[in-house]
Structure 1
Amino acid sequence: MNEDREVLKLVGARIRALRKERGYSQESLGEKGGFHFSYIGQIERGEKNVSLVNLAKIAESLDVNLIQLFAYVDEEYKFTESEIIIQEIIGMLRDAPPERIHLTKNIIREILKGT
């Protein structure tokens, strides 16, 4: 039972981190997904055993793949410099048009061919 609560807390912390990264309040995320803001708060605190359907709606509202909700946030985990840079690149690409993303992928592929 304790492990169940831990999973809920980890997923909730990940949702909170993604929400804050995007500058959303609990209320604005709730509106996007069709939920009451208090429900979002309960999920983020690990108090609600949220359904897979609702997780999919939250992921869509955060503009992420469902799997990304399970990339847990560990308060003690220290990111490497490379991981921080990769996350910055992802942030820059998030709002880019598809053709720019494709171009960026090709450029990175060419750069990495020599390694």
Structure 2
Amino acid sequence: MSETTLKLIGDRIRDLRKQRGLSQEQLAELANFHYTYIGGVERAEKNITILNLIKIANALNVGLYDLFEYTKLKKRAKSKSDDLEQIVNLLLSLNTGDVKKVKNILIEMFD
């Protein structure tokens, strides 16, 4: 698995664990792991196997597929698209001269 995938899965496990009010130690006990292993998975320091993912999913009382549902990523993407939509709508309401000013400002800021 790529580091990005491991990070997303670790974040998702942490989110689900916290939603259930479990500590790393409690989740580890339910899944029959040492608590340091759970911490390593959540920090993407462990290249977790499918069998261990199944044990964690069972301990969290979720399906394996739930560990791959990256809710934070979806929220960030939605937030970004909402921001972009608002920016485009604002630009569409401006006259041509003001749009050119905004373009020049953006070029100066990010180029």
Counterpart in the other structure of 2:16 = 18
CA offsets 1:46-82 (integer angstroms, 9 cap, x no match):
1111000000000000000000000013272558xxx
Q: Which TM-score applies when normalising by structure 2?
A: 0.65
Q: What is the aligned length?
A: 77
Aligned-partner residue type, residue 76 of structure 1: R
- 1:29 & 1:46 partners in 2: Cα distance? 16
Structure 1 residue ranges (4+ consecutive) displaced by more than 2 angstroms after TM superposition = 75-79
Among 4, 28, 32, which residue is 2:30 paired with? 32
- 2:56 & 2:63 partners in 1: Cα distance? 10
CA offsets 1:17-63 (integer angstroms, 9 cap, x no match):
00000000000000000001110000001111100000000000000
* Percent identity over paired residues: 51
Greater Rg over alpha carbons, structure: 2
More helix, by proportion: 2
Q: Which TM-score applies when normalising by structure 1?
A: 0.63
Query: Any stretches of 5+ residues in structure 1 without a counterpart?
Result: 80-115
- 1:50 & 1:32 partners in 2: Cα distance? 17
- 1:78 & 1:18 partners in 2: Cα distance? 20
1:66 aligns with 2:64: yes
Change (3 A) 1:77 1:26: farther
